């Protein structure tokens, strides 16, 4: 194309409105416009090319954004966090309404998670079970820890984690811990163990003649609510002294009597409201607060930030009494919700390996007799079932002795150290450490771990929980015919390794008061 006369090139923005007589060479970005030079007027100033701002309102860009995925920013470190959707250190760009929480394991390692404001403790536990690759998906819990004050409590499955963290002190060592807890809903399975008869009574006197078992069932079903009563040691306000006071726990709140065990209204003093109350177990209470015994717990308003002066410290005489009080506080506050949580755990799908660990109740196992020609039959008589168990145990000993007396069975270092790979083995843990681990994971019948004995060389100790107490059994190493065995009953029953010992006592009680059910597991996050 030939251009006659004097012309100059001028770059203008694409947003500028041009006249219809201009010849456009490009419809997007900067445009090249041919403008004749006017002799009667001074030439216009030359404008440099400028970067073009592509507006989102244009139809062309809207079409592209809807048809193509958004390209992430490859250099997030060059932008501020408010302008970048990708944050350094996160695997996926979190949404604006998510919160970052940090959860610690029992080995002091932690894991950070992005959660929504309405994420519950059950949701967080499921996320941690998947990320930590836990084989057992049940009986996990989030624990709220206040190490400086010695307080800890298990978060209920329906509690929102972000809301719980909002009540923490701004400066402190408060944290969340992920660990096993078998006793979260154990009072639904064995209520008589958790609520002694002498501590249950009917406060309204509307159900005269009801037994303690019926009152307990009403308590669990959140129907006619009985009251929990008994003496507790209480720490006086602004003083280090403790005194013994009679307390009553009712639906309307916690009360104490100013005159012995009197229930008269003029002698009752209001202590706390259950609707706005959290119950904490106190660890190391003798050293921190001068408690008379170790079975200490405290109550605190849930909406207030935790301060030492706001704690109402209470101390029971034994572990069963403390468990009764803390369980009753939970049931009185949110009994129906706890029932729903318990039903969800029962209906939740379980992995096959979790079922194979015999985590069910004793009632799911029945004695069978296969000696007849007509097939197996269920043994109904208790004495006959007990004798069948003894005969089976003796036959098992004979089979094992014959099998391991054969010369072609290899016995090497791997068979003697196979216990070190098991989750229930806790190495050189001391007696107090073993009791602390079992207490932290729930004090449920059948909880156990095996550790090395600190007093006897080449021996081990089986620590077992039974009736809210930890019992210790010495596993002795002995030799017979040049081979090494383990026994707990002075050689009556011999085991080639600790794994065989555990598998045997998961089915047979032997000298133990209860079968081994729940191994104490510590998971590293």
What are the two backbone dihedrals, phi and then psi, of residue 136, each rounded to the nearest 5 degrees? -95, 115
Let me know whether 192 and 129 are in one domain.
no
Tens-digit pLDDT profile for residues 342-397: 988 888 766 544 433 443 444 445 566 656 555 556 676 777 777 776 666 656 55
Q: What is the mean pLDDT of residues 407-426?
A: 68
| Residue-averaged pLDDT of the chain | 76
Asked if residue 460 lies in contact with residue 453, where contact means CB atoms within 8 angstroms, the answer is: yes
Supply the pLDDT for residue 94: 55
Give me the pLDDT at residue 187, please: 86
**257 and 267 Cβ atoms separated by less than 8 Å:** yes
Q: Do 199 and 298 lie in a common domain?
A: yes
Residue 157 located in a structural domain: yes
Measuring CA to CA, which residue among 140, 191, 215, 213 is closest to residue 327?
191
Does residue 78 contact residue 101 with C-beta atoms inside 8 Å? Answer: no
Are the CB atoms for 172 and 161 separated by under 8 Å? no
Is residue 82 assigned to a domain? no
- Helix ranges restricted to H, 8-58: none
Residue 375 lies in a domain: yes
Same domain, yes or no, for 391 and 426?
no
The 3-state DSSP class for residue 35 equals strand
What is residue 336's predicted lDDT score, i.e. its pLDDT?
Answer: 85
Expressed as residue numbers, the domain containing 442 is 417-525
Q: Do 228 and 123 sit in the same domain of this protein?
A: no
- Convert 267-304 to b/e letters by CB count within 10 Å (16 or more is b): ebeebbebeebbbbbbbebeebbebeeebbbbbbbbee
Higher pLDDT, 242 or 108: 242
Here the tokens at position 86 are 């990708």
Confidence of residue 420 (pLDDT cuts 50, 70, 90): confident
Overall domain count for the chain: 5
Same domain as 222, residue 129? no
The pLDDT of residue 470: 95
> What CATH number does residue 260 fall under?
2.30.29.30
Higher-pLDDT residue of 118 and 69 is 118
Residues 228 and 334 in one domain: yes
Beta bridge partners of 312: 299
Q: What is the pTM of this model?
A: 0.68
Report angle CA 238, 241, 244 to the nearest 5 degrees: 115
Dihedral sign, Cα of residue 5, residue 6, residue 12, residue 15: negative
- 33-61 tens-digit pLDDT: 444 444 455 666 656 656 555 555 444 44
Q: 325 and 222: one domain?
A: yes
Rounded Cα distance between 118 and 302, Å, is: 17
| Three-state secondary-structure class, residue 294 | coil
Tell me: do 332 and 191 sit in the same domain: yes
pLDDT of residue 58: 44
């Amino acid at each position: 194309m030939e251009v006659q006369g004097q012309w100059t090139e001028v770059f203008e923005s694409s947003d500028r409105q041009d006249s219809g007589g201009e010849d456009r060479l490009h419809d997007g970005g900067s445009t090249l416009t041919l403008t004749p030079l006017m002799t009667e007027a001074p030439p216009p100033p030359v404008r440099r090319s400028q970067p073009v701002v592509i507006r989102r309102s244009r139809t062309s860009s809207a079409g592209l954004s809807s048809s193509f995925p958004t390209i992430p920013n490859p250099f997030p470190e060059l932008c501020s966090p408010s302008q970048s959707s990708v944050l350094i250190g996160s695997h996926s760009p979190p949404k604006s309404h998510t919160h970052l929480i940090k959860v610690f394991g029992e080995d002091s390692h932690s894991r950070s998670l992005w959660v929504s404001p309405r994420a519950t403790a059950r949701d967080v536990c499921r996320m941690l079970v998947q990320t930590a690759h836990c084989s057992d998906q049940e009986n996990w819990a989030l624990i709220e820890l206040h190490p400086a004050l010695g307080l800890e409590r298990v978060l209920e499955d329906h509690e929102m984690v972000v809301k719980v963290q909002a009540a923490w002190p701004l400066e402190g060592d408060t944290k969340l811990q992920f660990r096993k807890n078998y006793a979260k809903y154990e009072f639904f399975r064995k209520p008589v163990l958790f609520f002694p008869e002498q501590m249950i009574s009917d406060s309204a006197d509307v159900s005269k003649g009801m037994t303690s078992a019926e009152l307990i069932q009403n308590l669990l079903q959140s129907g006619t609510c009985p009251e929990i009563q008994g003496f507790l040691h209480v720490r006086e306000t602004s003083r280090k002294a403790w005194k013994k006071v009679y307390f009553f726990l009712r639906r309307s709140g916690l009360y104490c009597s100013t005159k012995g065990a009197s229930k008269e209204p003029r002698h009752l003093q209001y202590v706390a409201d259950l609707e706005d109350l959290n119950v904490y177990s106190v660890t190391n209470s003798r050293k921190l607060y001068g408690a008379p015994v170790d079975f200490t717990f405290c109550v605190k308003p849930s909406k207030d930030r935790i301060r030492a002066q706001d704690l109402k410290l209470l101390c029971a005489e034994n572990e069963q009494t403390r468990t009764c009080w803390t369980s009753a506080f939970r049931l009185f506050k949110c009994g129906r919700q706890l029932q729903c949580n318990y039903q969800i755990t029962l209906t939740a799908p379980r992995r096959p390996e979790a079922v194979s660990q015999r985590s069910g109740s004793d009632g799911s196992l029945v004695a069978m007799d296969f000696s007849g020609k007509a097939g197996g039959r269920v043994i109904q008589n208790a004495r006959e079932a007990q004798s069948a168990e003894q005969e089976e145990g003796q036959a098992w000993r004979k089979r094992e002795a014959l099998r391991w007396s054969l010369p072609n069975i290899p016995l090497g270092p791997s068979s003697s150290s196979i216990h070190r790979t098991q989750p229930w083995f806790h190495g050189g843990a001391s007696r107090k450490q073993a009791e602390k681990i079992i207490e932290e994971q729930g004090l449920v019948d059948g909880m156990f771990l095996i550790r090395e004995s600190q007093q006897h060389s080449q021996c081990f100790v089986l620590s077992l929980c039974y009736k809210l107490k930890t019992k210790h059994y010495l596993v002795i190493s002995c030799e017979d015919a040049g081979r090494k065995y383990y026994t707990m009953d002075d050689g009556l029953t011999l085991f080639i390794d600790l794994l065989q010992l555990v598998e045997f006592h998961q089915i047979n009680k032997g000298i133990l008061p209860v079968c081994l059910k729940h191994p104490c597991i510590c998971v590293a996050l």
